[in-house]
Amino acid sequence: MMTHGANIYKYAKIIDTHPNEIIDFSSNVNLNKKECTLTLSQTVSANYADSEYREFKKFLAQKYVLKSSQIALFNGATSAIHTLINSLKCDDIFLYEPLYSEYERAIKKKNIYRINRISNIEADVLEDSIVVFVNPSTPEGTYYNLEELLPRWMELNCTIILDESFLEFEKLKSYRDEINNYKKLYIIQSFTKFYASAGVRVGAIFSHKKSIKKLPTPLWNISSLDIEFLKLRLSDTLFIEKSHTLHKEQKVELHTILEESEQFDEIVESDANFILTYTTKGEALFKHLLSHKILVRSCESFTYLSKNWLRFAVKDKRSHQALREALLAFS
CATH at 255 = 3.90.1150.10
2 belongs to a structural domain: no
pLDDT at 9: 83
| Secondary structure of residue 97 in the 3-state scheme | strand
pLDDT > 70? residue 62: yes
CA distance readout (Å), 71 to 66, 83, 217, 231: 8, 14, 12, 15
147 belongs to a structural domain: yes
Residue 309: what are its φ and ψ, rounded to 5°?
Answer: -100, 120
- Among 185, 213, 235, residue at a domain's last position: 235
Considering the domain architecture, whether residues 118 and 65 belong to the same structural domain is answered as yes
| Secondary structure of residue 266 in the 3-state scheme | strand
pLDDT at 164: 96
Could you tell me which residues are beta bridge partners of residue 134? Answer: 163
pLDDT > 80? residue 36: no
pLDDT at 277: 98
Residue range 114-138: mean pLDDT, rounded: 96
Residue range 55-65: mean pLDDT, rounded: 95
pLDDT > 80? residue 46: no
Residue range 164-181: mean pLDDT, rounded: 94
3 belongs to a structural domain: no
Considering the domain architecture, whether residues 217 and 254 belong to the same structural domain is answered as no
Tell me: cis bond preceding 216? Omega within 30 of 0 counts. no
pLDDT at 199: 79
Considering the domain architecture, whether residues 208 and 245 belong to the same structural domain is answered as no
| Confidence at 14, pLDDT banded by 50, 70, 90 | confident
**Domain CATH for 167:** 3.40.640.10
Residue range 275-280: mean pLDDT, rounded: 98
212 belongs to a structural domain: yes
pLDDT at 76: 87
| Confidence at 4, pLDDT banded by 50, 70, 90 | low
pLDDT at 40: 64
Considering the domain architecture, whether residues 230 and 310 belong to the same structural domain is answered as no
218 belongs to a structural domain: yes
pLDDT at 43: 54
pLDDT at 178: 95
pLDDT at 211: 95
323 belongs to a structural domain: yes
What radius of gyration, in Å, describes the C-alpha atoms of the chain? 20
Q: Which residue has the higher pLDDT, 34 or 282?
A: 282
pLDDT > 90? residue 210: yes
pLDDT > 60? residue 3: no
Considering the domain architecture, whether residues 128 and 247 belong to the same structural domain is answered as no
Cβ proximity of 217 and 57 under 8 Å: no
Considering the domain architecture, whether residues 204 and 243 belong to the same structural domain is answered as no
- Among 218, 235, 252, residue at a domain's last position: 235
CA distance readout (Å), 313 to 31, 74, 109, 309: 9, 26, 34, 13
Considering the domain architecture, whether residues 155 and 13 belong to the same structural domain is answered as no
What pLDDT, in 10s, does the model give residues 140-155?
A: 999 999 999 999 999 9
Considering the domain architecture, whether residues 47 and 180 belong to the same structural domain is answered as yes
pLDDT at 217: 83
pLDDT at 33: 83
- Minimal CA–CA distance to 302: which of 115, 95, 98? 98
* Mean pLDDT rounded to a whole number for the chain: 91
What pLDDT, in 10s, does the model give residues 103-125?
A: 999 998 899 999 999 999 999 99
- Among 235, 263, 279, residue at a domain's last position: 235
Considering the domain architecture, whether residues 139 and 274 belong to the same structural domain is answered as no
pLDDT at 222: 84
Q: Which of 55-69, 198-212, 215-229, 233-247 has the lowest mean pLDDT?
A: 215-229
1 belongs to a structural domain: no
pLDDT > 90? residue 219: no
pLDDT at 61: 96
pLDDT at 42: 57
164 belongs to a structural domain: yes
- Residue 97's domain comprises 42-235
- pTM of this structure: 0.92
Considering the domain architecture, whether residues 56 and 195 belong to the same structural domain is answered as yes
CA distance readout (Å), 161 to 80, 95, 96, 255, 298: 11, 10, 11, 31, 26
If one counts the domains in the chain, the total is: 2
Considering the domain architecture, whether residues 229 and 129 belong to the same structural domain is answered as yes
Considering the domain architecture, whether residues 166 and 306 belong to the same structural domain is answered as no
pLDDT at 226: 87
